[in-house]
Structure formats: C-alpha cells, structure tokens
Structure 1
Amino acid sequence: MYDKVFFINATNASDLVIGRLTDTLVDIAYQQSTWGQQMPIVWVPLDLQISDMRADGVKLITKEKVLDINRSNKEFSLSEKRVEDFLLVQNSIGKILYFDEPALRDFIVIQPSAMVNILRAFITDRMFWPKKGLLRDILEKLSATGVLQKTDLFTLWSQRAFKELLGNDRIKDYVVQVLLHLDILVEPKRYNEMDTAADLFLVPCIVTSNIPRKIQIAATDDKTICIAYHLKETVVPSALSFKLIGAAICIWPLKKVDSRFCLYFQAAVMDADSENIIHIHVEGQRIYAYLINDKSKELISPDLATTTQECLTLALERILQFYHRAICKQNFQIMSDLFEIEVGEICNGETCLIPLLDAQKRKHWSCKNGKKHETKYPLNWVFDKNKEHCDPNCEGLEKETKTLLLKPTDQHFVHLTKYLGIGDFYNFFIHLGMTKTDYDNLNFRYFSNPMDMMLMGMFQWRDKTESDQSPATFGKLLEALKAIGRQHYLCQGG
C-alpha cells in the first residue's frame, strides 16, 4: 500500500519521523473499509463500558465478565448472539483481540497493545537484553537455535514488566495459545506420540543463525530436485517467510543434526521421510524448496514430490491472501497473479530453474552454465497422481541405466503393487525368479488381503535376492515386467 521507508530512533521520543509515521498510519486507517461506518446503537452501552475499563488500565478480561457486564445493562442488554457479533466486529477493526476458537474464546484482550508488550519478553533487540544472568542465557540460546523451552518462556514472563497482565497460569496458557494461533510460536511436528516436543516451541522470527555450509552442499545435482516460488510484486517480506516456515514445520518434523533442530534465519530443513529431506529457504524474491534423496533424485517418489509441492503452494497461497486482505487489496482468485512457479535442479553448486509452464512443454533445457538438463525429474513436483497410463511417446526406463542399477525402496514396492493387481502378480512373481511354492505360501497366509500378499511377496523377493549376494534392483523388476508386457508400470509407480 505504501512504498515509504521510515528510519526511526525508538530511543528518542522527539524524533520527527515518528510524527510522519503517525500521519501515514492515520492515512491508512482512513482507507479501511470500516472507516466511517456507524455503530449499531444497541452496542453503545457495552462499548462505553469496555472503553472505561481500558482507560482504567484493564488489559484482559474473561468473556464471562463481558457477559456479566452486558446482563447488568438490563433493558439495554444484548442477546449472547449479538454479544458475539459485537466482539467479532470489534476484533476486526482492531479495538480488541478476540478469537472465536475453542481454546481462545474464554478471554478478550481489550488493550491490543498489551500483546506487543508480552512479545517484548522474547522478541526484542539484543540491545534491550539483560546484561547477564539466566534471562540473558535464555535469549542467547533462543537467538542461536530458534528453540524456546516452555519453562524458559514462563521464566521470561516472570519479570516484573509482564506480571501485571500474566497474573496466573490460566492467562499464561491462553496467551501461549494465541501466539500459536498467530504462528509466532510453533509447536514442532512430532515424530511419535512419545515425543516430548510439546515441552518446547520454535520461534522462526527470532532465530539469527544462518544455515551451515555443510547442510547447503548436501543438495547435490545427483540427489536433488528444486522448486521455487517467484513473487512478482516485491522481495519476500520477512514476516511472510517466517509464517511460511512456521507452516512447513507444522507439517513435517524438523531434522536434527548433532541434537540441534535445523531451524535457521529464513530457512529450515525437515525430514520428509526416512530417505528424503526437504530444505526451504528464502532469498530475494524467491522461496526455494529442495527435495533431497539420500541416494539419488531418481528415487524421489513423484507422489512425495507432488504432495510436498501441493502443501507448500496451499500454505503460500493462504499466507499471501492473508497479507493482501490485511492491507485492503483485493482477493486474488488466480495465484499466478501473485507468483510464478519454477522447477529445476542443482548445477555446479547453483540452482538452475525453468518456469514450470515452459518445463511442461519440453524434455530438456540449457542453463547459463551451458549444461543440458532433463525436465523429467523436476516435473515430478507436478506429477498427475490420478494418471493411469503413460504418454504415447514414453520410452520407459530402459534407457535410464543409472536408475536400473538402483535399489527400490519400500515405497516403490507399494506403488508398484497398486498398479500390478492380483491378476498380473503371479506371472510377475515367477519371472522374478520365485517359485510356485513361494506364491502358494503367500496366498495361503494373506488370502483375505491381496494387497498385503503382493507387498509381502515383493519383500520376500528382495530378501531372497539380497541373501544370494545379488542386489534387488529396478533393472530386475523391469525385466520381469517386460516378460508380462507391463514395463510401463515402473514409470507410473514412481
């Protein structure tokens, strides 16, 4: 909305720039769609009573207290439904903070600036930190790692400046839920139900450590596919990148290296599964995401790449819509108006990208380094998961000599058995070198569940092949599939 930049000395109350900033904020307020709208007369008594409480220094009250105040107005009292409407409108215009969510609707912040003061406990410039002691140590650790223990958060809130508002544990728990709702604090994705991750929070907006070089170079050209979201209007605002990273680490568990969460300034590394990691970082106008397999990019499942892309794209769309609504711009129905998607690979330590629309029209592209890249693997980001047949010009995997030497994962076996079907499985199983007795034993044990029978048959073939000191490879699967005329199942099975 505004392209002015204000440089303010916050320690100087007479700084003239503060006045110009104030004028600009008033100008923005005038442009809000709610400016000048008349308040329903029936709301006036309750609005005045809350304003009086605000003037008396009250910052937070329970919803039950508001309902009691409303009932005391007797003939001017509102129904509970109208009180709810009143609170939601007051929240929308910024006079209060009220969230109609199960964990949040019991309290109302009638002085929104109080939340800013609460955030100062852990989101503040280094120059305002205590010089030494426990509080300094907590903030140092938070800045370096982005990790905030729940007990440490409550220790920060135990300072005299915050005790007035955070008077009891119930209010503290409410404020924690608000900060989680606003994505300022993030509960890390748990690996399992026994994980103790609930005892800590991640704070993407405060971590200052840059991503280490050794993690960056893990994204090599033979193991990595890339996708980038190129924002058309401006560089990616810090708040947007923090919110996107917060959304990502709610979906995938953060990777740990040397007992440290891989959360960095505008970057994060997450475990997609046991064999693949997701690396996200923001730079200039682009949000980059890398999907890195521990052996080869040829083993990255198209389903995994596409699901990852869909999650990231949806999160980015919602965040952009939120920011556009916040500054009164129109809602965008077509996301291409906001960003362009590019896909690519790593080349000589750099990211080589091509617009997605171009990649879908060609098999190769040449990058600035003069290298010729195939679009096959980058296009796995937009793989059609409902596609049942290969394209007429598909050449299969016969020319993919590197791929044929690789070992399929459990996930590849799952995909392949989905396409095979029980009708094809017997002949396929025999052409893999297994016996009719092997098949009969499987059929007897898993008769009621054909999918389990086929999958256990694949595992049995792999174990038997490996025990004979011969690797179970894609090449051997392809030979068996060719023998039954189903060689393209490997293409579709990812």
Structure 2
Amino acid sequence: MTERTRETLRKVILEEGTRYKEFGERVPASWIALEEALQNAKNQQHYIISFEDVQKINKGLKRPLDEKELKICLKFFHNMGCILYFDLVPLRDFITLDPKVVMDAMRWLVVSSGQTSNDHMTRVQKSSLLKLFRKLKINGQSLNQKHVDYLLSMMQKFDLICEPMIYKKGQQMSPTFYLVPCMMKADMPNDPIQHFQGPHGDQFTFSSDTIIPPAIFNRLVCSCLAFWEVFDGHFYNGLVVLEAEDFIL
C-alpha cells in the first residue's frame, strides 16, 4: 500500500466514522476501563460471555458502574460496533465480544444447513441445525447449550432464520424447521403482477415495481411469517404471498 493510498484510506475512515452520533462523544474514564477489561477477555478467546460475567468484571474495576450505567455503557459499545448487546429477552443474558467471529459462525450454520423443498421454500430442519451446532467450534471452543440457545435467538434477531406460522385443521402446529428467506433461490414469475383469489372473492394485486434492498425484504418476510402462513407455496426470491384468516396479503 502506497503512502497516498494509506492517506486516502485514513480520510475515508475518518469521514465515515464522523457519521456515528457517538463519534467524538466524551465518555467517563470508567467506561474506558470496562472496555479494556472486555478487550482482555476477548484476547483470551472469550467471544461470548454472560452478563453475569460482565458484572463480575465490572465489580473488579476501581470504579464499578451501577447496573443502570453498565447497561448504558454496553449499549454505547454496541452502537460503536465493538460488541453485540441487546437488552431484550432472551438476548440480554449474553454479550458477544467479537461480532465478526459470531456472525461468521451464524452465516456458516445457515449456509451449511439450508435445503430447498419442493414448494421452493428454503428450509433448515431444526434437528439438522442442532447437529451442526454440536460440530461448531469458535476458534477451537465448543459451545454449551446456553450458547447454542443464544446463537439461535441471535439468528432470529437478525432474521437469518424464522419460525413459520403453520395451521392444520384450524390448529396451530409447532414447526420442525426454520425458513431461510436470505437463501431463497426460486425466481419470481415472469409476470411481476400476480392476482390471487381470496376466500371471499377478494382479489389482491402484487407488484415488484418498487426496488427494496434484499436485506430489508428478508427481514420483513421473517417478521410476517411469525403471524401469517405462505399462501399455496408462493414463496419466491423477491415475492412472498401470505394468507391471513379472511384474506390474502
């Protein structure tokens, strides 16, 4: 890398960094001490640690943070991209110290277990995914069951996988698989405008005129599949038809 290229790269990094609202924000010295302590844990190859362990690390500092400030501090580090922390059930019990390593692991799990069924919906059998979890090692470390549950919740949080809503004879069924919208390969029909007949004669039109980034579309699909079923197998790359109780979406 030439000196000119290095200088250009430095300017780009600084320009992009200033877009973050946290950039240049003054923080308490105790936050820096906690950041260094978490970095030490990461250097010891602890990529996922419990919130309880973070509390123990915090108590070992010269100026420990109270629980409210500790959570604010962790959210700040999360926004800066240093860690992954969500103060949500069930994710709040663990903190990811190395987001890249964990995201790479989740991506490998999805790619390794994806299967396309006859109805074109890309599925991951829960049993197959759990078998892969048993094989998965992050930098040589096997995962315990709590870490497995955490990663599964993270994969659903990032909409890499989702549990579909399934009904049989009016009864909601527990699915044996996850759907993986980001791996959908079935092409949309040639005619981008599709007409579907609802149970009460209602007709709805779907158009692909609006360009939506794939990541946003996939997240929308995951959210919708938690409430509605896919209508008659119409699940394509860029188009999903959902069936509600009295109409088709």
TM-score between both structures, scaled by the size of structure 2: 0.80
2:69 maps to what in 1? 82
Which amino acid is the alignment partner of residue 79 of structure 1? D
Pairs within 5 Å for 1:432-447: none
CA distance in 2, matches of 1:147, 1:250: 15
Could you tell me how far 1:117 is from its partner in structure 2?
Answer: 1.2
* TM-superposed deviation, 1:95: 0.9
Larger RCO (CA within 8 A; separation ≥ 6): 2
- The alignment-based identity, stated in percent, is 22
Q: Which residue of 2 aligns with 1:312?
A: none
Tell me the SS of whatever aligns to 1:158: helix
Segment of structure 1 superposing worse, 236-245 or 99-108: 236-245
Q: Taking structure 1 as reference, are residues 253 and 79 closer, same or farther at Cα in structure 2, changes over 3 Å only?
A: same
Whole-angstrom distance in 2 between the partners of 1:205 and 1:22: 33
Return the match for 1:51 from 32, 35, 39. 39
Deviation of the 1:224 alpha carbon: 2.4
For residues 176-206 of structure 1, what are the alpha-carbon distances to aligned partners after superposition, in whole Å with 9 as ceiling and x for unaligned?
1122122222111243665022x32111111
Q: 1:183 touches 1:243 (CA, 8 Å); kept in 2?
A: yes
Alignment of 1:238-387 (within 5 A): 238-255=214-231, 257=232, 261-273=233-245, 276-278=247-249
CA contact (8 A) 1:146 1:206 kept: yes
State whether residues 189 and 250 of structure 1, in contact with CA within 8 Å, keep that contact through their aligned partners in structure 2: yes
Match of 2:60 in 1: 72
Letter in 1 for 2:205: C
Match of residue 22 from structure 2: 34
Q: Deviation at 1:229?
A: 8.8
Shift in CA distance, 22/238, structure 1 to aligned 2, threshold 3 Å? farther
Matched, 1:100 2:87: yes
Deviation by residue 1:136-181 (Cα, 9 ceiling, x = unmatched): xx43437952211111222333345548465111111111112212
Give the total of aligned pairs: 238
Q: Distance in 1 between matches of 2:8 and 2:163?
A: 39
Distance 1:217 1:60, change over 3 A: closer
Equivalent residues of 1:204, 1:266 under 8 A apart: no
User: Does the CA-based 8 Å contact 1:142-1:207 persist in structure 2?
Assistant: no
CA contact (8 A) 1:186 1:201 kept: yes
Q: Which residue matches 1:154?
A: 130
Are the structure 2 counterparts of residues 160 and 248 from structure 1 closer, same or farther at C-alpha, using a change threshold of 3 Å? closer
Q: TM-score, normalised by structure 1?
A: 0.43
Give the distance between the partners of 1:63 and 1:39, measured in 2 at CA: 21
CA distance in 1, matches of 2:165, 2:12: 40
C-alpha distance in 2, partners of 1:84/1:22? 32
Is residue 2:208 matched to residue 1:208? no
Structure with greater Cα Rg: 1
Shift of 1:243: 1.6
Q: Distance in 2 between matches of 1:118 and 1:208?
A: 22
Change (3 A) 1:109 1:217: closer
In structure 1, distance between residues paired with 2:230 and 2:223: 12
Q: SS of 1:251's equivalent?
A: coil
Number of the residue aligned with 2:174? 196
After superposition, the Cα gap between the structure-2 partners of 1:161 and 1:237, relative to the gap in structure 1 and judged at 3 Å, is same
How far is the alpha carbon of 1:82 from its aligned partner?
1.5
> What does residue 187 of structure 1 align with?
163
Question: In the alignment, what sits opposite 1:469?
Answer: none
**CA 1:270–1:225 in 2, change beyond 3 Å: closer, same or farther?**
closer
Name the counterpart of 2:78: 91
Structure in which a larger fraction of residues adopt strand: 2
* Partner residue in 2 for 1:400: none
Q: Within 2, Cα distance between the matches of 1:180 and 1:21? A: 35
Q: 1:29: Cα distance to partner?
A: 1.9
- From the superposition, tell whether residues 161 and 67 of structure 1 become closer, same or farther in structure 2 (CA, over 3 Å): closer
